[in-house]
Structure 1
Amino acid sequence: MCQKSSRKGHERHSPNFRTKSTKIRILSELTKRILFAVPAATLFIWLAWMGGIYFNTIMALLALGTVWEVDRLMKNAGFGGFFGVSVAIAALLWFSSSLPSLVVLAGFLAAIIPLIAFLFKKYHGFGYQWISMLFCGLYAPIGYLMVVHVRELGVDTQGFWLILSLFFMIWGNDIFAYFIGRSFGKNKLAPNVSPNKSWEGFWGGFLGAATGALIAWGIAADFPLTLVELLPAAVVVSITGPLGDLTESRLKRLAGMKDSSSLLPGHGGLFDRFDAMILTAPFLFFYFTFFL
């Protein structure tokens, strides 16, 4: 009996047991992600097809939820504390839809530049609380607002196909980067910010984004761009997507939090799921506008 117990204990601590345990945990987590992601993505695409008040309302709610998550991260990181003001800024921006696109772009840059300053420095002065307030109120809401603007581009269903290409490129980038990174990743991309990310996964993400672009363009009834015009957008996604993810990873590391929240089963929070889209959408909006 003692020998069996000792043998079982030895097996639990063996490298093979740990490897099997890790694989089971990864498969379980991946299954949970897929079970939530497939119906959620289907609903998201349907809402994008509907457009108008349905899609815009969902984007506004996602923006509000993400502002709340970012404010939590900021507070845990030693910044923040102005949630109400951040929401007011976001609401003012959102309902001022008649603002010129260049003004919106200026607001987005105004959110990104201070972000770089306080995410990569250790100063926690009072001024940084105000910077965090502006970041909370501008960064995510502008990203979601630009998704709405992409949907409104072109005529008839052209905006839907542009939105679909945006989704497919981001999802393709994310999926290919994950699996190629896990299979072949050896060289760390940003070990101090996100240790699991690798250069191999980063380059694999380019292939995934291009694949997403090809699929969207291939199934579209009236895609407003040629394939030659669309493929450079995949390059944009492959750069801004990982940057958005690294931005959120850095903020979570400063806050000492694994996820931005637990709103989405298997995915963490809204900021965890839409970090790439938030940073990518403004750039793709102006890229698409150039050709329309």
Structure 2
Amino acid sequence: MLLQRTLTALVLAPLVILLILLSSTAVFALIAAAAFLAALWEWAQLSGLKNQSARIGLLVAAAVVFALLWYGHAGITTPVLLAAGVAWWLLACLWLRHFAFGAAPTAENRTLKLLAGAFVLFPAWIALISIHEREPHGHWWTLLALVIVWAADIGAYFSGRTFGKRKLAPQISPGKTWAGAYGALVAGVVVTLLGGWLLDVRGAPLLGLALLALLTVAVSIVGDLIESLMKRHAQVKDSGTIIPGHGGLMDRLDSVFAALPVFAAGLLLLGL
């Protein structure tokens, strides 16, 4: 399994990097929207929406929302959605504390989970676009945002395997440990400091960027746990099978969805 995951990552990572660095923001937004819609399909399944026609209708509605957001994101839409995204992930921490909430397969819980999906996807997409179109290094800031999450994932894996004993959330994701979380935080900060230095960030702003990395990685862990909670409620191992060795798109993007609004909002506050 590890070999398959590694080979898949070695194929996909260069493609994602090239897409980020070489695409215009319009093209990047379109491709990202397509990936997010595929993830929404999986989220709808995890939410308990079993009717395929209903899921298709949900995707059509989401595609319309993406189009509207694209044409309105230059105004107040972006900061409002970023704030909504950050607020949602703070609220998600409460859901993790009360992990049995929403577990019953009722229509009300399905509706709540579908609504939560809107707060997962749309703020993350608008965050991705706002970072990518920033001047003068938006493409590189976008890459850094993803590399932070990737580095945190790698740091968590090796730190957890080496030092992990105390479980982080055993009722939700038994494999995650506090050591893994600490490794993720360290890896994320190191990568951010290096990336910020290469992007000519110095002094106090670089320290602010390091603090932002801590918050971004912490929230990315929450995103990972929320998707694990959704899978536990749905009684499935993976959100899908589209990525060999990795499961579904939600399995790979859960941390990214959580990290992006926080990172984008932090860049705005730091003036970077």
Do both share a fold (TM > 0.5)? yes
Identify which of 31, 41, 45 aligns with 2:13.
41
Distance in 2 separating the partners of 1:64 and 1:165: 23
Aligned counterpart, 1:95:
67
**Shift in CA distance, 237/109, structure 1 to aligned 2, threshold 3 Å:** closer
Aligned identity (percent) is 28
CA contact (8 A) 1:177 1:205 kept: yes
RMSD: 2.8
Bigger Rg, structure 1 or 2: 1
**Shift in CA distance, 68/110, structure 1 to aligned 2, threshold 3 Å:** farther
Establish whether residue 283 from structure 1 lines up as the match of residue 262 from structure 2.
yes
CA contact (8 A) 1:83 1:133 kept: no
Aligned counterpart, 2:100:
120
Letter in 2 for 1:75: G
**Shift in CA distance, 106/230, structure 1 to aligned 2, threshold 3 Å:** closer
CA contact (8 A) 2:37 2:59 kept: yes
Q: Deviation digits for residues 231-259 of structure 1, max 9, x if unmatched?
A: 11210122111100000111111111111
Establish whether residue 253 from structure 1 lines up as the match of residue 226 from structure 2.
no
How many Å apart are 1:176 and its aligned residue?
A: 0.7
Distance in 1 separating the partners of 2:233 and 2:62: 24
Q: Deviation digits for residues 185-205 of structure 1, max 9, x if unmatched?
A: 010000000001111111111
* Structure-1-length-normalised TM-score: 0.79
User: Where does the alignment leave 5 or more consecutive residues of structure 2 unmatched?
Assistant: none
* Structure-2-length-normalised TM-score: 0.85
Distance in 1 separating the partners of 2:198 and 2:269: 23
How many Å apart are 1:291 and its aligned residue?
A: 2.4
Structure 2 residue matching 1:265: 3-state secondary structure: coil
Establish whether residue 57 from structure 1 lines up as the match of residue 57 from structure 2.
no
Aligned counterpart, 2:111:
130
Structure 1 residue matching 2:176: 3-state secondary structure: strand
Distance in 1 separating the partners of 2:86 and 2:270: 22
1:97-112 paired onto structure 2 within 5 Å: 97=69, 98-99=72-73, 100-105=77-82, 107-108=84-85
Identify which of 229, 249, 270 aligns with 2:208.
229
User: Where does the alignment leave 5 or more consecutive residues of structure 1 unmatched?
Assistant: 1-28
